[in-house]
A = this chain, B = another copy of it.
Amino acid sequence: MRQVAERAGVSAKTVSRVMHHDRYVSDDVRQRVEQAIRELQYVPNVVARTFRSGRDDAIGVAVPDISDPFFATLTHEVERVARARGVAVFVTSLGDDAADERPGVEALLSRQVFGLITTPTSADQSYLRPWQERTAIVFIDRSPAKITADSVVEDDFGGAHTATSHLIGHGHQRIGFIGDRVTVATTARRLEGYRAALADAGIPEAPEVIALGATSGAEAGRAARDLLQRPDPPTALFSSNARCSIGIVPALQSVGRSGMPFISFGDFPLAEALRPPLSVIDQDPVAVGHTAVTRIFERLDHPDRRLKRRIVLPVRLVTRGSCGGDHAPAVSGRAVS
């Protein structure tokens, strides 16, 4: 920048003014500076600006796993909206280990992003409190703990209740539940919805067909096979998330039970192309991402406006054929791409 200033015969400050389209710059000077910028291929130092101003014009996104179709689609929408405003988006994966959450999130925060969209993976987000003054933080998918902040979550309880009730409506009494750890808040809520649906139908709960702790598709597949090999196997399955479902489908096929009635919480690409097409609870990741990033900009543009902290988005059952009965789809099953 000093070089540009020297070449144009002005001060560094004036170059800064030209860069920012300051009103008070004469045409003569502006042109000389612009030429010097071109000749020297000057690129402003973003880090210096961030350092000085204390905030980077970027949004950080921290999710458990970018390759999960739910988070990938969500992230895509965040990028789309942010790009329209000329804001950069940086994504990072946290993994499933609760201990990795804090370092991963702080790696973004300490780079002074002005907005953060993140999924809590540990049981305590109080460490984010000092950051809230400087950064708009929105939690997605799961509610945060030990902190007050914006969050955009789905109706986990309602979705699981709907799915389970639907299977019950098809005559199933013994419905297997496969999910990851209950320490994950969403899983816990979905398990509650499942239990409530059973209770509402007067069906006693069978703990032996509830398989938790499947942190990968492969583990979920094993869990499904184990359930089917029991002496008293379930007659239908409910999977608590898409990652599990993606492992369960081939597992069912491998034991010749691809026709097993099955509903997945979370849609994913090709779910409709499976045979039978997989019925799902659609979480609408685009809506989650859109709502979250919009909230960030709202907080930025109107710092003192009062807004509802917690946004619960509805989910909907998309019946496609894997639920057990012969029936026309209630919602025409659109594919996720």
Q: From B67, B90, B247, give the contact of A69 (CB < 8 A).
A: B67
Give the number of residues in A that approach B within 8 Å (Cβ atoms). Answer: 52
Copies of this chain held together in the complex: 2
> Are B46's CB and A48's CB within 8 A?
no
Q: Report if A75-B66 is in contact (Cβ < 8 Å); known contacts: A47-B50, A112-B47.
A: yes
> Are B111's CB and A41's CB within 8 A?
no
Q: From B48, B91, B110, B218, give the contact of A43 (CB < 8 A).
A: B110
- Using Cβ atoms and an 8 Å threshold, which residues of chain B touch A282? none
Q: Render A107-124 as a binary contact track against B, CB cut-off 8 A, 1 for contact.
A: 110111000000000000
> Are A43's CB and B106's CB within 8 A?
yes
CA distance A181 to B142 in the complex (A): 39
CA distance A58 to B103 in the complex (A): 13
Using A43-B110, A65-B76, A250-B272 as known contacts, list a sample of 9 further A-B pairs with CB atoms less than 8 Å apart, ordered by residue number in A: A46-B107, A46-B110, A47-B50, A66-B76, A67-B69, A75-B93, A216-B337, A217-B337, A274-B274
* Closest residue of B by beta carbon distance from A100: B83
Q: Report if A92-B91 is in contact (Cβ < 8 Å); known contacts: A51-B51, A249-B270.
A: yes
Q: From B65, B72, B217, B273, give the contact of A67 (CB < 8 A).
A: B72
Is A31 interfacial (CB-CB < 8 Å)? no
